Amino acid sequence: MKDSLIVVSGGMDSVTMLYEFREEIALAVTFDYGANHGPKEIPLARMHCERLGIEHIVIGMDFMTKYFESSLLSGGEAIPEGNYDEENMKSTVVPFRNGIMLAIACGLAESRGLKRLMIANHAGDHAIYPDCREGFVKAMSLATQEGTYDHICIYAPYTNLTKGEIARHGKALGLDYSETWSCYKGGEVHCGKCGTCVERREALAEAGIEDKTVYSL
């Protein structure tokens, strides 16, 4: 049944989820919160939705650029390089980003009569981003159920998968990951050095996928 709304960024994880659950998805929403890599990621989200015949809307969140603190909103130069670990990546946290995206998605789903919200947080995010952890997703799902007439719930089936395991799902689906974007710097091509680029390379290698991404290094 097509009763789900998915939050899709244009990155590896949400694009994999979009294809894996395409029969259940009625609406895909991308949030433009002024991230450095938005101009690279958002057109890819749109392209995949068009290819699958899924309605896609982009919701702007200008207030984040204006009032929120994060290196992810401050230009590519501010993004740390090296591993995707806590110390290194903490500056990239956008406070309560998943909470905000899920709350807006919930209101939109209720306006459209949809029953379920999907989001592609995964195990690799847990150390750095509190709003990617299972405890958050469970509490937020209870909040959306309690706070809506239709008892809308959240479904986050990748919560305990690694990015390498998600890439294996994508491999089985025949996805071409060069049609996704990861780099937090948002340059012409992937930088190859920032935490998200390092994590992308490792995940593709772990899944035994030939990496066709163009990296600057």
Site for its own copies in 147-186 (CB under 8 A): 147-149
Site for its own copies in 82-121 (CB under 8 A): 93-100, 102-104, 106-111
Select from 139, 172, 189, 214 the one that contacts its own copies (CB under 8 A). 139
Helix residue spans in the chain (DSSP H): 12-20, 38-52, 62-67, 86-89, 97-112, 134-146, 163-173, 195-206
Residue with tokens 């969140």: 61
Residue 144 as a binder of its own copies (CB under 8 A): the answer is yes
The span from the CA of 156 to the CA of 171, in Å, is 20
At 144, list the tokens. Answer: 């959306």
Residue with tokens 């919930």: 106
Residues linked to residue 179 through DSSP beta bridges, in sequence order? none
Site for its own copies in 48-67 (CB under 8 A): 57, 59-60, 62-64, 67
Q: Which stretch binds its own copies (CB under 8 A): 48-56, 134-142, 155-163, 206-214?
A: 134-142
Q: Which stretch binds its own copies (CB under 8 A): 39-47, 77-85, 136-144, 196-204?
A: 136-144
Check the CA dihedral 197-200-206-212 and report its sign: negative
Chain contacts with its own copies (rule: CB under 8 A): 57, 59-60, 62-64, 67-69, 93-100, 102-104, 106-111, 130-131, 133, 135-136, 139-140, 142-149
